[in-house]
Chains A and B, each alone.
Chain A
Amino acid sequence: MSTRIKANQVAAAIRQNFAVPLAETGRRTTGDDSRQGMTRSTFSAPRAAIVELRTLALRFGVNMNDLLLLGVEDVLKAAGVPANVAVKPGLRDKLQEHANRPDSAAAASQVAQRKSGANHDT
């Protein structure tokens, strides 16, 4: 298939995805389509996800802001999240190093103690 034909097909598919039939504009369906789910409730923060992120940050002794800025999914993958999550080079080793430290549990505890006494916006 020539790239020009393929480009036209891609553009047509995007337009089709953007189109909302007039009859449906008054009511938005939810269904179980994960694609619609991702655009339906952007930025609603499930409590479970927040708890999981905090737990992982403590477990790996990673500063919560670093976790957010440098690679949430990297931490999750190191914790066993499915393999299709992209991993930033270098961070996996850093996290593994944290996890392998003999004092990692103590370090996590210290992080938790610092956070309980510090102001942060998470």
Chain B
Amino acid sequence: MISIASGQTKGGTGKTSVSVHLSVTAAHLFQRKTVLIDIDVQRSATKWGMRRNAAGPVVISSDAASLPNLLGRLAGEFDFCVVDVPGHDLNALSNAAVNVDLTLLVTRPNQLDIEPAVEVCNVLKQFQLPHALLISQAPPRPSMKLASWMEAYSRQGEVISTMITSLAAYQDAITLGMGVEEYEPQGRAAREMRAVFEWLMWRLKEKR
């Protein structure tokens, strides 16, 4: 089972949105047996799962302390796992990071969000824990400044080239208990999520 954690130290960066849409893309487009583990006390991913009518992904509510055992139990049953990690909880983020195959640091493209995300990446790198930055809520037409920053950062750390754009489809789909792959399969949001999934598979295959 390939496991991904979606986290950041800040709230509201789009972690749960990425968790939800990535899990649907994995389950429905790429036909992976997928489980989404919600360890955020807000239970946003769990509530989204309760609004769903479609089969897959399986959504499980848990907590950071139970994560290691839970991942071990699920490993034989699922192909792909996304862990939705709460913001403002270093213990949960750290616990997830040491137990999954790769941690996505989901961050908005502004100084206040990126700064702590880079600090976390530096620590994860120090502990040799696979990770990557994922820019979320990006403007529809990214600025040269953002592109330049990404290029510069990519020389010292991993940042996924695909940015998650600030599109209504992401939130509209969540409201309906769907993922963008189901809500608007031909849309830009679905393409972005596919690209993120493909990048993850390529990166983790290379590391194995």
Contacts and interface: CB of A to CB of B under 8 A. Distances in A.
B202 to A, nearest CB: 5
Given A45-B148, A72-B147, A18 B161 contact: no
Interface string B70-95: 00000000000000000000110111
A11 interface: yes
Interface string A1-30: 001101111110111011000000000000
A4 B123 contact: no
B208 interface: no
Interface in B89-144: 90-91, 93-95, 97-99, 111, 114-116, 118-120, 122-124, 126-127, 129, 132, 141-144
Helix, strand, loop or mixed for chain B's interface?
Answer: helix
Contact of B94 (A14, A53, A76, A84): A14
Interface residues of B, number: 51
Helix, strand, loop or mixed for chain A's interface?
Answer: helix
A2 to B, nearest CB: 9
Given A43-B149, A72-B161, A14 B144 contact: no
B163 interface: yes
B161 A10 contact: no
Contact of B203 (A15, A81, A82, A86): A86
8 contacts: A15-B90, A18-B9, A43-B148, A67-B147, A69-B142, A71-B162, A84-B155, A121-B143
